[in-house]
């Protein structure tokens, strides 16, 4: 068995804005394992500026993992505890190598094309006109859950955009989620949450920056809008630390991004703790190519989820890996009539 890695830059069809800046290119890496004529692919979904393993020695560690692939998955996952995206890529690559066709990582009705997963439609930050245009496109495409990134333009303008949706559609017709990516200041976050609550917002992701544990705990206790922890989970490696964090903050939801929290093994730990503490969750991709998105989608279906997940990022890039994944009427599906075209 031998392994190698390759860097791959995903190019956005149009610059996509968040409170952390505008994204034009998303760097990613692929691990390729070869054994007895079979090939396994895994994506290490590094996210510059967000991943805890965004370090100068990232490629050195990725090479070490490939050079020591003979150690096996279990040993490598322990070795790379502080490199969650490498853990995620290794898990995929080994599952891919063991699968019949290289891509059926979690065989199910979803991977057989017999079931769909509901997803939210993502609205990127930009001008009021640009965001309004995106909203119309998502509604026309049949999405019943809209997630809007907020915190980069004037808050009043964002309230206006959300209000325009709510004036046309009731909470039962359209579910509205927002993602602040930590953009709110702790001293005025509650006031902003109160304004959002008037619009029947389903939830808000990471209203204030991660690491403000006392402030986030108070917000989750007083908030009129359910809070979902996102960035707060990044860099929390040990099971005991995960449980302590959720017990202290006691959020209404957590957002699970396998690339950022230790792959499927790390995600399973968060789920086990959250379910025990009666905290709800959903799974979200983190701008992976279709290789990583396929793995996350197949895994997510096995969880038996029913609320819309955050798996609609595959269509953002001009040079994504061609795959059977499709977004149809607010759902993601695996169209078995389509084929993978690996060009990495």
The residues with which 203 forms a beta bridge, in sequence order, are 177
Query: Reduced to 3 states, what is the DSSP secondary structure of residue 101?
Result: coil
**CA 316/CA 100 separation, integer angstroms:** 29
- What 3-state class would DSSP assign to 125? strand
Residue 126 DSSP one-character state: -
Alpha-helical (H) ranges within 198-334 are: 213-222, 239-249, 258-261, 263-276, 290-302
- Is 2 tagged catalytic? no
Written as one string, the DSSP assignment of 317-342 is BSSPPB-SEEEETTEEEE-TTS--B-
Give every strand in the sheet of 201-205, ordered side by side: 121-123, 145-149, 175-179, 201-205, 227-229, 253-256, 280-283
Specify whether the CB–CB gap between 60 and 44 falls below 8 A: no
Contact (CB, 8 A) for 120 and 147: yes
Mark 38-47 as b/e (b = at least 16 C-beta within 10 Å). eebbbbbbbb
Residue 206 in 3-state DSSP?
coil
The active-site residue out of 26, 147, 192, 257 is 257
Query: Do 145 and 312 touch, CB atoms closer than 8 A?
Result: no
3-class DSSP state of 13: strand
Query: Which of the following is catalytic: 149, 192, 209, 242?
Result: 149
- Vertex 263 angle, CA 112 and 75, to 5°: 110
How do the residues of the chain divide into helix, strand and coil, expressed in percent and rounded to 5?
40, 25, 35
How far apart CA 333 and CA 342 sit, in angstroms, is 19
User: Could you confirm whether 257 is annotated as catalytic?
Assistant: yes
Catalytic center residues: 149, 257
């Amino acid at each position: 068995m031998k392994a190698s890695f390759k860097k791959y830059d995903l190019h956005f069809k149009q610059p996509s804005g968040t409170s952390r800046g505008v994204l034009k290119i998303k760097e990613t890496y692929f691990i390729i394992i070869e054994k007895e004529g079979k090939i396994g692919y895994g994506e290490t979904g590094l996210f510059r500026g967000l991943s805890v393993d965004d370090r100068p020695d990232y490629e050195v560690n990725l090479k070490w993992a490939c050079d020591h692939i003979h150690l096996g998955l279990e040993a490598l996952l322990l070795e790379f505890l502080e490199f969650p995206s490498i853990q995620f890529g290794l898990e995929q690559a080994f599952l891919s190598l063991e699968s019949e066709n290289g891509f059926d990582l979690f065989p199910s009705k979803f991977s057989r094309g017999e079931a769909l997963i509901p997803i939210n439609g993502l609205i990127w930050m930009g001008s009021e006109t640009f965001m309004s245009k995106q909203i119309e496109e998502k509604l026309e495409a049949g999405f019943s859950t809209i997630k809007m990134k907020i915190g980069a333009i004037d808050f009043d303008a964002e309230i206006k955009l959300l209000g325009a949706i709510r004036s046309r559609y009731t909470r039962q017709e359209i579910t509205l989620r927002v993602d602040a990516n930590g953009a709110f200041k702790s001293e005025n976050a509650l006031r902003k949450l109160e304004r959002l609550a008037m619009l029947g917002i389903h939830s808000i992701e990471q209203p204030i920056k991660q690491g403000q544990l006392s402030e986030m705990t108070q917000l989750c206790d007083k908030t009129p809008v359910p809070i979902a922890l996102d960035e707060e989970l990044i860099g929390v490696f040990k099971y005991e630390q995960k449980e302590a964090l959720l017990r202290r903050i006691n959020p209404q939801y957590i957002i699970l991004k396998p690339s950022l929290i230790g792959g499927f093994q790390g995600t399973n730990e968060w789920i086990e703790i959250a379910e025990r503490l009666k905290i709800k969750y959903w799974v979200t991709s983190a701008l992976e190519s279709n290789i990583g998105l396929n793995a996350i989608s197949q895994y997510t279906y096995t969880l038996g989820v029913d609320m819309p997940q955050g798996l609609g990022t595959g269509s953002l890039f001009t040079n994504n890996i061609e795959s059977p994944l499709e977004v149809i009427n607010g759902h993601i599906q695996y169209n078995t009539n389509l084929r993978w075209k690996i060009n990495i």
